Amino acid sequence: MARIEHLLVECAKDADFIVNEREYGQGKYPDDKECLRVVGYDKNGDPIRRQAELGRLKHDVAFACVQREILRHFPNNVSIEPRYVIRTGKGGQQDIMKPDVVLHASGRPDQAQCVFDFKFPCLKDRKSDPLSVPETRDQMTRYASLDGQCNPAIITPQFGIIRE
């Protein structure tokens, strides 16, 4: 477990560094104004901000790292973006969850043991307190319903593993 968590943190740090270097140059990273810059619009006409675009790019690099560094050693115990369907009990409604990385029983992705989600905060205040984002807290509460052996965690380049 400690080895996997260490590698996940290294993957997050590498992804943050690689994408920032590629997008902004050596030793540079986006400021709040750049993070909030609108780079496009979704199908509903809502703005897509640079922070979301950077997060997607960093997730792609982090997932490649997980495949290279973790799945190679633990192919039967780790899944990237598995889907879980949880019945909420409210008129047959379902909650569909897709955490970034799940440590599970050998060959049994349906038996989640630990759930991890990469977060790449762009805004200054979110970098210093990643759990201040209500959506992140809600997400961790939902992941707790998977009944893992450890509390769900987020992984940031700045703080590593964070559990509530």
Q: Can you give the pLDDT at residue 116?
A: 97
Continuous segment of H or E residues that includes residue 8: helix 2-24
Q: Can you give the pLDDT at residue 86?
A: 81
pLDDT tens for the 164 residues of the chain, in order: 899 999 999 999 999 999 999 999 999 999 999 999 999 999 999 999 999 999 999 999 999 999 999 999 999 999 999 998 887 776 778 888 999 999 998 888 888 899 999 999 999 999 999 998 899 999 999 999 887 788 999 999 999 999 97
Which residue from 100, 119, 114 is spatially nearest to 16, judged by alpha carbons?
119
Cα-based distances in Å from 116 to 49, 80, 129 = 24, 10, 17
Q: How far apart are alpha carbons 4 and 143 in whole angstroms? A: 19
Q: Can you give the pLDDT at residue 88?
A: 73
Alpha carbon distance, N-terminus to C-terminus of the chain: 18
Is the whole-model pTM more than 0.85?
Answer: yes
Q: How far apart are alpha carbons 128 and 25 in whole angstroms? A: 23
Query: 102 with 116: CB under 8 angstroms?
Result: yes
Q: Can you give the pLDDT at residue 77?
A: 92
